Structure 1
Amino acid sequence: MSNKVNVEGALLFEQPFARVPYEAYRKVPYEAYRKVFRSSQKYIERELGAVQAASKDISKQAKSNYDPSAALKSIDNMIGKVEGLKRKLSDLHENSGLQTQEVMRERFMHITELENSTTRDDPRFNRWADTRIDRWLVDWALRNGKEQTARKLAEDKGIEKLVDIDLFTDIRRIEDALRRHSCTEALAWCSENKPALRKAKNTLEFDLRLQEYIELARSGKAIDAIAYSRRHLVLWQDTHLKQIRQASALLAFPPSNAFGLYKRLYDLKRWETLVHSFRLAVYNLNALPTEPLLHLALYGGLASLKLPVCYDPTQKPNPDCPICDGPGLGKLAKEVPFSHHVNSTIVCYISGKIMDEDNPPMVFPNGYVYSRNALEEMAARDNGIVTCPRTKMTCAFSDLRKVFIS
């Protein structure tokens, strides 16, 4: 096996790592800059309003009792307010998106450390690989609702800018609201990301609006439901006319008498479906994989080891085989295809280790084959005698023959 770092292969896993902050940076004009505009407008109205009032006072004083010292003091105050306003506006515009740019810079530096590594023995590669594992563990914890664990690990390892804690915190907050049967937060998120959702032809907003309509129907508020439909659902009639008609008919069937399609519309499991749809929409907009990065990496390794013999009930499970670990990695292994080996890999029945030129296979007189290392250990324990674990046949170690793999 080559000791050279497979940079291209490693970078396949790093596409979401680099794209998440990039996608966030693209949203700056829609979110951060809008907030900057509102804040700037507030500062301008307040500070310039005070300057204009002071200017009017000076004009009135000039027509009556003119005091040059008081006028100069008032002008100095106005200049101070204008300079303060300039600093605030400058800080707002400089800092909008600055944090995102810092995150992107940290992430690209992390990727550069991989590209500068020459071999797997390079200390830079070892540091990079350790950090990658830490990132994957944080990603797994965030996706499984273990936010405190993720934050603690990120802080201890100093990788806060290399993980997406804030993104997953928002996801968890909105998902919790949906599980409490509230669409408010999810609809606000749809409003903030409307251009991107429209471009992706995502219908999450309609699904949320439909659910709010269903809840009004469930509560018996027919008049409110009709008004809500006219205000929010009719806008989608070009693409969802059939669903809108079905929703209109829902008012004729209260939950206690609903059947078929209408009973399914009232089903509370729809909320969990909305949670799933929301998460997929967030992942799609931020170029995130639907599976934890740790799982994707494990899938790659398990796919290279998975063989039909691992599921043969007549064979003894290999304690060193992750595929045979049913309660653990064996669960993930069920999701991947069997490995395709151009050359066969022979594994020792006794030790579970691969037989190769350094650990060649040895054959008993009865035809069963085991690895030399395992048989040498057995012979050392039993005064040169080895026993076939399958047939219980015994013979001297010297009676075994070496087998050559072709």
Structure 2
Amino acid sequence: MEMETLPNGNSATTAVSAAVTVPSLKLTQLAESLKLEHQFLRVPFEHYKKTIRANHRTVDKEMSALISGVGDAADGDLSRDQAVQHLNSLVSRLQGLKRKLENGNHTENLQAQRCRACLEHLESADLGNLSEWSNTRLKRILVDYMLRMSYYDTAIKLAESGNIQDLVDINVFHDAKNVVDALQNKELAPALAWCADNKSRLKKSKSKFEFQLRLQEFIELVRAENNLRAIAYARKYLAPWGATHMKELQRVVAALAFKSSTECAEYKVLFEATQWDYLVDQFRQEFCRIYGMTPEPLLHIYLQAGLSALKTPFCYKDDCTKEDPLSQESFRKLALPLPFSKQHHSKLVCYITKELMDTENPPLVLPNGFVYSTKAVEEIAAKNNGKITCPRTGYICNYSDVVKAYVT
């Protein structure tokens, strides 16, 4: 069978090979992109596990109380009316447990559904819907940023407008919102309750967040000049931490000798309002650690990676081309603390002409990802009526399809 030859002399086999190259490159990029979705899957899964553990503790607690109640009724010398009343109270408690289990089961089903939705979303990523999938991913990143910055209402509206409620962590951050709001209002009870709910996880990570909350509660008693209560509080809640945090404990307990109006710098700082801001920051860090979130918002991470890849010394020169994003003052400020791209010392040599690619002979990128010098591409286009054939893959495109790359 005779092979068909294309007008430019390349065989049909070469053209097919080139056509396959572009999707394969995009698939590779997509696969690399999916490796960054660790947080996307872990957060709902950790929330699901937490709910299961909470429901299990509730069942254990209630069943222990019920069994104990039945034992007391059997062993006790109760009259008929007393026994009936006691059993009725146990039945009422069982009915209450049933309602709790039904609510817990409903919550577990919703969270399992969300885990399933996240998996299906990742599995749906392919070349056919790459643009739409990437747009959804961008919305997820923006919602994550808004939730971390406490813009809850805006985050909810964006999630609803994009129909991505099952793909974002609004329910998870709702618990954090209650704690953050309380700490900002100088209330410690919700934060201490959160520590109690996550006691095993915090202990495993050797967190001292609960200790810091207890210290603040002690300081508030000292501020109110309620020294007797402060001493009793220290004996009950601070003394158990002495084995691991003795120096901090001694320093704070010594605050009993001072008032909130003290001018002693070492103790004055303990009574400042900034201590509450510090507790908010500490809570957010512990919250992210427990759920496996990145310490910084994903938006920051992606922006820093992109800006660092673009940043070169040439970007900060007056003759920097306006087509370079870092020619804009706002982008320069964002990129200022970031390292320069490691490519700024590289030398690019054209595969075709073997000549150096620089600002006089800048590199051009073909749609299939291969790069050649402007001189080489223009020569190929001039010989083929504006058509360019990649010498390594046989891929064919128009000269208007190539994109200029910037180097220093």
Under a length normalisation based on structure 1, what TM-score does the superposition of the two structures give? Answer: 0.69
Q: Alpha carbon RMSD of aligned pairs, Å?
A: 3.5
* Letter of the structure 2 residue corresponding to residue 135 of structure 1: R
Does residue 1:223 correspond to 2:225, yes or no?
A: no
Matching of residues 191-340 of structure 1 within 5 Å: 191-312=196-317, 315-327=318-330, 329-340=331-342
Q: Any conservation in 1 of the 2:184–2:280 contact (CA below 8 Å)?
A: yes
Matches of 2:139 and 2:315 in 1, distance apart? Answer: 30
Does residue 1:107 correspond to 2:110, yes or no?
A: no
Structure 1 residues 135-177: Cα deviation after superposition (integer angstroms, max 9, x where no partner): 1111122122221111111112111010001222322321121
Q: Any conservation in 1 of the 2:47–2:172 contact (CA below 8 Å)?
A: no
Does residue 1:173 correspond to 2:187, yes or no?
A: no
From the superposition, tell whether residues 40 and 21 of structure 1 become closer, same or farther in structure 2 (CA, over 3 Å): farther
* Letter of the structure 2 residue corresponding to residue 269 of structure 1: T
Matches of 2:30 and 2:312 in 1, distance apart? Answer: 28
Match in the other structure for 2:35: 12
Q: Any conservation in 2 of the 1:299–1:336 contact (CA below 8 Å)?
A: yes
Q: Any conservation in 1 of the 2:314–2:320 contact (CA below 8 Å)?
A: no
Gaps of 5+ in 2: 1-21, 69-79, 85-91, 349-356, 365-370, 379-406
Matches of 1:260 and 1:34 in 2, distance apart? Answer: 46
* Letter of the structure 1 residue corresponding to residue 329 of structure 2: G
Matches of 2:334 and 2:204 in 1, distance apart? Answer: 34
Query: SS in structure 1 opposite 2:342?
Result: coil
Matches of 2:266 and 2:108 in 1, distance apart? Answer: 47
Q: Any conservation in 1 of the 2:59–2:97 contact (CA below 8 Å)?
A: no
Q: Any conservation in 1 of the 2:141–2:299 contact (CA below 8 Å)?
A: yes
From the superposition, tell whether residues 272 and 149 of structure 1 become closer, same or farther in structure 2 (CA, over 3 Å): same
Deviation of 1:37 (Å): 5.8
More helix per residue: 2
Match in the other structure for 2:134: 129
Q: Any conservation in 2 of the 1:36–1:92 contact (CA below 8 Å)?
A: no
Matches of 1:93 and 1:268 in 2, distance apart? Answer: 39
Greater shift in the superposed pair: 1-10 or 205-214: 1-10
Q: Which has the higher contact order (CA 8 A, sep 6+)?
A: 2
Structure 1 residues 4-41: Cα deviation after superposition (integer angstroms, max 9, x where no partner): 34244212321000000111122234323334567889
Deviation of 1:95 (Å): 3.1
Query: SS in structure 2 opposite 1:174?
Result: helix
Match in the other structure for 1:389: none
Deviation of 1:332 (Å): 3.0
Q: Any conservation in 1 of the 2:304–2:338 contact (CA below 8 Å)?
A: yes
Aligned residues: 319
Larger radius of gyration: 1
From the superposition, tell whether residues 319 and 246 of structure 1 become closer, same or farther in structure 2 (CA, over 3 Å): same
Greater shift in the superposed pair: 294-303 or 90-99: 90-99
Query: SS in structure 1 opposite 2:329?
Result: coil
Structure 1 residues 341-383: Cα deviation after superposition (integer angstroms, max 9, x where no partner): 23457458xxxx965388837xxxxxxxxxx9xxxxxxxxxxx
From the superposition, tell whether residues 186 and 340 of structure 1 become closer, same or farther in structure 2 (CA, over 3 Å): same
Matches of 2:101 and 2:235 in 1, distance apart? Answer: 44
* Letter of the structure 2 residue corresponding to residue 319 of structure 1: K
Deviation of 1:187 (Å): 0.8
Greater shift in the superposed pair: 22-31 or 188-197: 22-31
Match in the other structure for 1:31: 54
Does residue 1:360 correspond to 2:374, yes or no?
A: yes
Structure 1 residues 319-338: Cα deviation after superposition (integer angstroms, max 9, x where no partner): 332223232x3333234311
Matches of 2:205 and 2:97 in 1, distance apart? Answer: 40
Q: Any conservation in 2 of the 1:40–1:89 contact (CA below 8 Å)?
A: no
The percent of aligned pairs where both chains have the same amino acid is 33
From the superposition, tell whether residues 235 and 343 of structure 1 become closer, same or farther in structure 2 (CA, over 3 Å): same
Matching of residues 134-145 of structure 1 within 5 Å: 134-145=139-150
Matches of 1:337 and 1:214 in 2, distance apart? Answer: 42
Q: Any conservation in 2 of the 1:30–1:192 contact (CA below 8 Å)?
A: no
Structure 1 residues 44-77: Cα deviation after superposition (integer angstroms, max 9, x where no partner): 99xxxxxxxxxx89xx9xxxxxxxxxxxxxxxxx
Match in the other structure for 1:387: none
* Letter of the structure 1 residue corresponding to residue 137 of structure 2: R
Matching of residues 346-357 of structure 1 within 5 Å: 346=358, 355-356=363-364
Deviation of 1:229 (Å): 0.4
Match in the other structure for 2:151: 146
Query: SS in structure 2 opposite 1:336?
Result: coil
Matches of 1:299 and 1:281 in 2, distance apart? Answer: 23
